Structure formats: structure tokens, C-alpha cells
């Protein structure tokens, strides 16, 4: 993510983990679909979401 912007990077990483953990908690408690916790695709898609979020942060201009 480059040098500087420590607060923005920390925030982006923390939010990414919140998205992943929130999705996993929801899958455990409610199993709403379309993917269940036991689905290999769940892992792949969550990793992809986290990657896209962090890549998006890398491409953002400093405020």
C-alpha cells in the first residue's frame, strides 16, 4: 500500500476483516445461502473480496 497513510491502511485492513468475520458469523448463525460455511467457494470468494478491498485501497489517492 506504499509509504504513509498509516491510518487509512489500518482502517482498510480492519474493515476487510470485519467483512470477512461478519460474513462467517452470519453463515454460522443463520446459514442464509447461497454459500454455506462448508462450501470451498465461501473461502475463495471471501478471500477475493478481501483482496479487492485492499487493492482498491492501494489505488486510492491520499485525501
The pLDDT tens digits of the residues spanning 23-60 come to 999 999 998 889 899 999 999 999 999 999 988 888 77
Mean pLDDT value across residues 13-28: 94
User: pTM for this one?
Assistant: 0.77
Q: What is the pLDDT, as a whole number, of residue 32?
A: 86
Q: For residue 28, what pLDDT is reported? A: 93
Please tell me the distance from the alpha carbon of residue 23 to that of residue 25, in angstroms, as a whole number. Answer: 6
Whether 16 contacts 22, CB under 8 Å: no
Residue 4 has pLDDT above 90, yes or no: no
Q: What is the pLDDT, as a whole number, of residue 58?
A: 80
Amino acid at each position: 500500500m506504499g509509504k504513509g497513510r498509516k491510518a487509512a491502511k489500518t482502517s482498510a485492513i480492519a474493515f476487510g476483516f470485519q467483512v470477512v468475520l461478519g460474513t462467517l458469523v452470519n453463515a454460522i448463525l443463520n446459514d442464509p445461502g447461497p454459500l454455506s460455511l462448508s462450501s470451498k467457494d465461501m473461502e475463495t470468494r471471501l478471500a477475493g473480496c478481501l483482496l479487492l478491498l485492499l487493492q482498491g485501497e492501494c489505488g486510492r489517492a491520499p485525501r
